[in-house]
Structure formats: structure tokens, C-alpha cells
Chain A
Amino acid sequence: MLEQVMNQYNEAVMDTDRDQALLVVRDALALGVTPEEVVFNIVVPAIELMMKAISEEQGVTLAQHFMAAQIASEVVDDMVPRFRKAPESVGTVIIGTSQGDFHGLGKRIVSGCLKAMMVEVTDLGLNVAPERFVDEALAHDAQVIAISSMMVHTAQGENGCRRVRQILKERGLERRIRIAVGGAPYRFDPELYRNVGADAWAENGITAGRVITGLIREVRP
């Protein structure tokens, strides 16, 4: 039965049909599927399937990324309080756009995916100062700082990732905290992430989930 539900959910997500996806979940719960199974056997595999579709260049659109993350986030918010015991957190991420950048779509997609993957996300919003990224990472004991930039000058500017890297270095935090970046300039220059001092980059908001959980595993004891 789970496989059938998963297929129906996937179909609704790929069709960007939020109402249908939520209906599939509701019907599944009524049939006895547990909230844990909804998250780990339906929602997370749907995201992984989308990652696969993206990597195979099956023509997945930005709107589908957005809706997959949006639906996943809504379902997880609804399911987790119903878990028999609180889920174990995979890790903690601080996310925001670089200073001077006011484009929030990418980080919203990333946050939705991470939430489904049981990563705790603190969203600092838009136009975030580099010092704040680091201060908040320390305050939340985060393993990863994720910086989204949609413009070339905010991606490679001195108050973006470069400065975050410098602060981590100055404070001796590089072993504890990793930096992930994403946004259009990185897609057009796949080596840019190295030049700005990031540890990794993600081509889109959905695959960012895999990249960021990989970074968490590198530093989490």
C-alpha cells in the first residue's frame, strides 16, 4: 500500500498539485499509515526522486522544485507533532541571502527540503550581514551556514561568503562549521564556490538538501 501512496503523492507533487498531495496524505493516514511512514516513506523519497529527475535532466522546472519543497514542508509540519517520539535531528543549518541580496526563493526551497530531511533550519531572511551568519551559527550550534545569492556581485562580493569564510578562520571555527552556497551565479560558474571560500555548492534548492546533509555529516561528531 505504501508504494501506491508514494506513487500517488509523487504524481501530485510533479503535477504541482498541492491540494491533491495533501489529500493523498490524509487518505493514507485514514488507512492506517503512520505519520512517521508519511514523512520517511513518502515525503523524503519524493524529494529524492525529484533529485534523481533533476540529475537525469528530465526537465524538472523551478515551479516543481518550489512546490515539492512547499508541500514537503507543510506535510512535515503537520506530521512531526504526531510522531510517537520526537524525531532525531540530523543537524542544524543557518540559512539566508548574502548581504545586498533580496532574492528569497532559493533559500525557501532549500529550507523546505531540509525540514523534510529532519534538519533544523534557522532562516535569517534576506540581506544578511556576514557576522550575523556566524553569530547565529554559534548561537544555534549549527554545522552549516547556507548562503544564497542571485546576483554576481552579492555572490562574489566582499560582504558575502568570502567574509563569512574569513570570520570562521579568524575565530577558529572552520573545523566546526561548513559553508554551502547556491544561486544563479554558481550555476553559470561552477568553480565560483571555491573562489568565494565555500565548501560546497548546490545547483538548485532540491539538491541542496543532499549537499548540506553531506556537509553536516562531515563535521557532526
Chain B
Amino acid sequence: MMTGMQRLTAAINGTLADRIPVFCNLLDQGARELGLPLEEYYRSGELVAEAQLRMRAKYGYDCLWSLFYVGKEAELLGCSRMIYAKDGPPNVGEMIIKKYDDIARLQVPDDIASHPAFAEELKCLRILKAEAGGRYPICAYLTASMTMPSLLMGMEKWLQMLMMGPHDLRDELLAKCSDFFRKQIAAYRAAGADVLVYSNPFGSTDVIPRRFFDELSLPWMERDLGPGGTAGVVYYCGSARFNKVIDAVIRRLGIGVYYLSPMDDIAEGKRLVAGRGLTCGVINDIMLLHWSATEIRAEVKRMIAAGKPGGKFLFGTLVMPYNIPEENIRTMLEAAYEFGRFETP
């Protein structure tokens, strides 16, 4: 049987595989897997690694995640308070930038790898690498400079600054976030992450007008990714659609994997990528909370039928809420394995 890495490599190269790669992000579910409250679970890189390895083996999907929760990046920049829920991801509990003067005080850590807030994630990455490196791609999650300020000052204040200025402070903040991104992606690569999910809702024209995308998003993305290159980078705009910018992103940035929104048209996305990279069809996994097995299978079948012909396609999930019944996770994955199978010649 092929490994997840072999399936991913085959999809990238357009060579033969048993089925399409299936990527699944079960994050908070790791706590349930180990019978722990979320706050206790996320305190330990060993626990997160153990749960990720266990869940991958249990469900059979093709990747491993080193991501704890999205707010973790704010901790690296000085946020000391996360607010935990019992059935969902923690929220950033303290905005580091409360007023514009705070931008000048924002410090980008010199060395991410030795930062105390990175220690547990680093432990997790090392365990994943030691246990499954080379067999299953290890995924890391990074927030683009254009989006990072939302975690530092809140989306509301960031959008206000982005649209209305002051532009000198906006650019100062973006430069710091971009410097942080460059260090962070280098740290993840050094620690063994294979897949770097580059999260940027501001890379979608659902969020900002095309003019802002061209004049701000693209140049800042170029700055983020310039020094380290785009190897292993996945373009992802959260739940926002981005089919309209795929061609520009390929031409300007050369990113090789496109993790669509569940609202994007998969066939159109694949047509726009046009063999220049991988296209990932992403399921609206919020519906897994209550869809029947029949509905889940029908949706997975529809998505894979739209994306699989011609290969260079993978199946993925979006937020995977904590309360999705385990049987629905299994139904989705088994349908993806079944409908994603390639016929042997």
C-alpha cells in the first residue's frame, strides 16, 4: 500500500497512484482522542503529536498536522492570553495592538525556533518527523503578512487601517508581519515541515477588491515568500473563494498547490490551475455535523468527480468542527478513498 507521501508526490508529478491524496485536519479532536480537556491537550507538544499520529493511523488519511490552533502565532508575537472553549478552538484573548502606538513596540522575535511559545510545536514537529517523516507529509500553518494583523489587532481594526490608513503605520505593521512570516516559514522548514499552508483571506477577492489584491496583497505575498521560495507552499484563503486570482498567483508567485474554498467551483478551479499545480477540492465540513451518510457520500462523490479527471487533484477538509460525529468523519474519508481510487491499467 502506498504512503501519503507517495500519493502526494504522484499527484504532483502526475504519475500513477492507487488513489488521490486525502488531507484531513482534525485538530481539537486530538484532545478527545486522548480523553483530555483542550487546554491541557494544547499545553504539550508530545500530546499533540501522539494524538495526530493516532488519528492518522485510525482514519487512514494522508497527512499529519503540526498546527495546534491559529492563535498560536499571536503568542509568538507576545500575546499571553488565550481563551479556551470546551468544544472549539481557542480564541486570542488579548489584542497585542490596542492602539496605533503599539505598532512601533511590536517586536519580531530574532529566532523563532528558540522562542518559548514555539517550544511545544517544535517538540510536536520533531516527534512527527521521527515517527512518520518521509511517509506522511507534515503540514504547518502560517498566516500571511496581509492577514496576520487580524490576529494582533482584530479583523475590524485591521480592515479599517487597511482601507483608511494611516498608510505609513499600515506598511510598518505589514513589514513586521512579513519579517515574522519569513522567520516562521524558515523555522518550520528547518524543523521538518513538508507542506506549508499559507493562509491569507486577504488573497481573495471575496474579501478585498481586485485593485487592493493587485496593489497590496500580491506585493506583500511576494515579499513574504521571496527569500524562502514557494516549495511546499499551499495557497489558502480560509473559507474565502479565490478562483478569480489563481492565474495571477501562479504567474506572480509560482505557488504549486491551491486549496480552494468549499464555495469555489472545483472544476473551474482545476481548469484555471491548468496543470501548473495541484488543485484541492475542499468539503463544506460544517455540514458534517448533521448530514446523513447518504448526503456525505453524495457530496464527496460530486466533488471528486469534478476534480479527479486528469489527476493533479486532492481532497481536503476546512475547519472540521469538534462536534462532528466520528462516524461522519469515517463516512467522508471512506467515500474519498473509494471515489478517489484510480483504476489500475
Stretch at the interface among B132-140, B156-164, B167-175, B302-310: B156-164
- In this complex, the interface size class of chain B, counting residues with CB under 8 Å from chain A, is 20 to 34
Say if the beta carbon of B284 comes within 8 Å of chain A.
Answer: yes
- Chain A 125-165: CB-based contact to B (< 8 A → 1; otherwise 0): 00000000000000000000000000111101100000000
CA distance A105 to B201 in the complex (A): 14
* Chain B residues with CB below 8 A from A64, complex form: 209
Residue in A153, A188, A195 whose beta carbon sits within 8 Å of that of B284 in the complex: A188
A202 to chain B, nearest CB (A): 16
Segment with Cβ contacts to B, from A26-34, A38-46, A95-103 = A95-103
Chain A interface, >50% SS class: helix
The chain A residue sitting closest to B207, CB to CB, is: A62
Chain B residue at smallest Cβ distance from A66: B159
Is A102 a contact partner of B83 (Cβ separation < 8 A)?
yes
A102 lies within 8 A of B209 (CB) = no
Is A108 located at the chain interface by the 8 A CB criterion?
A: yes
Query: 0/1 per residue, B286-320, Cβ < 8 Å to A?
Result: 11011000000000000000000000000000010
- Cβ-defined contact, B88 with A152, below 8 A: yes
A61 within 8 A of B: yes
- The chain A residue sitting closest to B321, CB to CB, is A152
Taking the nearest CB of chain A, how far is it from the CB of B202, in angstroms?
Answer: 9
Contacts of B83 in A (CB 8 A): 100, 102
CA distance A63 to B286 in the complex (A): 25
Chain A residues lying within 8 Å of B323, measured Cβ to Cβ, are 152-153, 156
> Is A210 close to B, CB under 8 A?
no
Q: Does A25 contact B (CB under 8 A)?
A: no
The answer to whether B321 touches A153 (Cβ under 8 A) is: yes
Chain B residues 198 to 251 lying within 8 A of chain A, measured CB to CB, are 205-209, 212, 239, 244
17 A–B pairs (Cβ distance < 8 Å), ordered by A? A18-B164, A61-B205, A61-B206, A61-B207, A61-B209, A63-B162, A70-B163, A70-B164, A101-B91, A102-B83, A104-B156, A151-B88, A152-B88, A152-B286, A157-B87, A185-B286, A189-B287
Minimum-distance CB pairs A-B, first 7: A153-B88, A152-B321, A188-B286, A105-B156, A105-B155, A104-B156, A62-B207
Please report A residues at the B interface, Cβ cutoff 8 Å: 16, 18, 59, 61-64, 66-67, 70, 100-105, 108, 151-154, 156-157, 184-185, 188-189, 192, 195
